[in-house]
Amino acid sequence: EAYTNYGNEGKSCIAFAIAELDELGLIESPGSWDDLNRLDLCFLGMAAMYDPPRDTALKSLQTMKNAGVKCFMVTGDHPSTAAAVAGHFGLAVPRASIVSLNTEMEKKPNLLSVIHCEMIETLTDELWDDILKQEFVVFARATPSHKLFIVKECRRRGEVVAVTGDGVLDAPALKEASVGIAMEAVG
């Protein structure tokens, strides 16, 4: 419950746990969430972190929107966290109206769509076309390979794509984009 509440507030969470080590003092890295169960972890606690949006981000988004630019938010955050962050920019709708991929996107083109990236590689061309009709889309739980895939799908449909990134892991998506904008944190 706390995890969900923090996510709905736009906070990212990290959990702390302990596990008994084998005789060599090693544990095997889990390959998936399901593999965590076999590690017999004991939950110790959780911390919530908040990384506030930059002051200039809202103005930049409004300028792009006024110019007719479609904006996609691609983040590694949980879908509820990503939707809450979008809400800070006035881009969210009531939680009950947020949709994942379904026919409601076509019926309600101005609805905030939150798409979990674990499903993007299975989307049909028709669904990608529907996504690109949206004014604003949030892609959540995105990995660097997901970011690259999203850029390729947009470019394949003739879209001019600008990507901002702040790390070496964003390099493939920055390179594939029509315009790649590498940012550096200051301060």
Domain with 44 in it: 2-49
Q: Are residues 86 and 127 in the same domain?
A: yes
Q: Are residues 27 and 43 in the same domain?
A: yes
Structural domain contains residue 166? yes
User: Residue 67's pLDDT is what?
Assistant: 92
Q: Are residues 65 and 132 in the same domain?
A: yes
Q: How far apart are CA 97 and CA 95, in angstroms?
A: 5
The 10 Å Cβ neighbour count of residue 125 is: 10
Q: Which of 30, 49, 68 is the last residue of a domain?
A: 49
3-state secondary structure of 67: coil
Report phi then psi at 70, rounded to 5.
Answer: -80, 140
Q: How far apart are CA 81 and CA 140, in angstroms?
A: 9
Structural domain contains residue 64? yes
* Residue 177: CATH number of its domain: 3.40.50.1000
Interval 35-58 mean pLDDT = 80
Structural domain contains residue 88? yes
The 10 Å Cβ neighbour count of residue 116 is: 17
pLDDT band per the 50, 70, 90 thresholds, residue 103: very low
Q: Are residues 62 and 45 in the same domain?
A: no
Q: Are residues 126 and 66 in the same domain?
A: yes
Structural domain contains residue 187? no
Sign of the torsion formed by the C-alpha atoms of 60, 175, 86 and 91: positive
**What's the total number of domains in the chain?**
2
Residue 47 burial (CB < 10 Å; 0-12/13-18/19+)? exposed
Q: Are residues 66 and 142 in the same domain?
A: yes
Average pLDDT over the chain reads 80
Q: How far apart are CA 112 and CA 94, in angstroms?
A: 9
Q: Are residues 37 and 91 in the same domain?
A: no
Sign of the torsion formed by the C-alpha atoms of 140, 142, 147 and 150: negative
Instruction: Give residue-wise pLDDT tens across range 119-132.
Output: 888 888 998 888 88
Q: Are residues 71 and 144 in the same domain?
A: yes
3-state secondary structure of 143: coil
Q: Are residues 30 and 66 in the same domain?
A: no
For residues 7 and 110, the model is more confident at 7
